[in-house]
């Protein structure tokens, strides 16, 4: 399958664009959804709710666990750097669209941004389903050409001195950004840390604010 449902074995030698002519599979899915809704078999609002759940809630929580562990456990961080797929599998996350992971670390000097310029490759195992903007032709084109401006549209204004590295995901490698640990979280446990980690920070279009108060 392509685009909305991701895809697995493609080799990036075709240039499909989900914002233009819908693919055959997308048309078929739409037709099925319309038919099932018309027959009262599914509620479109319920479908939207399911997608939202995997896009913004369940999916990214896995990545947040990985990030919180990396902040808390130096030995895990080393394993994550050496073989992210294996380290992530220690936490029970893996499988389709998560077989070949690489973690890229933000520092005060370097900010990492992830895109799939040709389609929508995304690390499902740790982030769930990609958000619609990730699949848009605007994001896919501009993230490489003008990453600083793209980040500004997400409300991230980086100092000129910060280097931005853009990582182009493929079916072969999927990237997870390891955000900087927020100030004010010394001594926090993994659950409290994980709760701070947003999906967008793991794609690289957001930075995590300093902790606002005492450990929850
Ligand atoms: Fe792709």
| 120 classed as catalytic | yes
Catalytic residue, chosen from 34, 116, 137, 201, is: 116
Chunked into runs of 10 residues, the chain (216 residues) has average pLDDT values of 41 48 76 86 84 80 97 98 96 84 97 95 92 94 96 95 96 95 94 96 96 76
| Strand stretches in 134-196, DSSP E | 163-168, 174-178
CA of 117 to the centre of ligand 1 (A): 7
Question: From ligand 1's centre to the CA of 144, what distance in Å?
Answer: 14
Model's pTM, two decimal places?
Answer: 0.81
| Residue labelled with tokens 């993230």 | 143
Which residue, 133, 114, 130, is CA-closest to 173? 114
User: Tokens representing 64?
Assistant: 């947040």
Q: Where are the domains of the chain?
A: 59-203
121 is catalytic: yes
Segments of 106-210 assigned E as strands: 110-115, 163-168, 174-178
The pLDDT, as a whole number, for residue 35 is 87
From 19, 34, 120, 198, the catalytic residue: 120
What confidence score (pLDDT) does residue 20 get? Answer: 57
Q: Helix (H, G, I), strand (E, B), or coil: what is residue 43?
A: coil
In the annotation, is 34 catalytic?
A: no
Tokens read off for 119: 């389609």
Domain 59-203 indexed as CATH 3.40.640.10 = no
Residue 4, pLDDT score: 40
């Amino acid at each position: 399958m392509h685009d909305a449902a991701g895809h697995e074995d493609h080799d990036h030698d075709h240039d499909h664009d989900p914002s233009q002519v819908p693919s055959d599979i997308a048309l078929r899915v739409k037709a099925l959804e319309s038919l099932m809704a018309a027959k009262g078999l599914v509620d479109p609002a319920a479908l939207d709710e399911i997608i939202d759940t995997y896009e913004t809630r369940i999916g990214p929580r896995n990545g947040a666990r990985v990030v919180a562990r990396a902040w808390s456990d130096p030995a895990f961080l080393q394993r994550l750097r050496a073989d992210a797929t294996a380290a992530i599998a220690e936490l029970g996350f893996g499988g389709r669209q998560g077989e070949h992971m690489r973690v890229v670390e933000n520092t005060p000097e370097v900010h990492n941004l992830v895109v799939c310029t040709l389609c929508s490759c995304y690390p499902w195992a740790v982030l769930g389903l990609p958000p619609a903007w990730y699949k848009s032709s605007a994001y896919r084109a501009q993230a490489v050409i003008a990453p600083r401006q793209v980040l500004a549209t997400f409300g991230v204004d980086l100092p000129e001195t910060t280097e931005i590295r853009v990582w182009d995901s493929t079916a072969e490698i999927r990237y997870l950004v390891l955000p900087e640990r927020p100030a004010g979280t010394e001594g926090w446990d993994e659950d409290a840390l994980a709760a701070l980690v947003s999906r967008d920070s793991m794609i690289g279009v957001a930075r995590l604010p300093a902790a606002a108060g005492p450990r929850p």
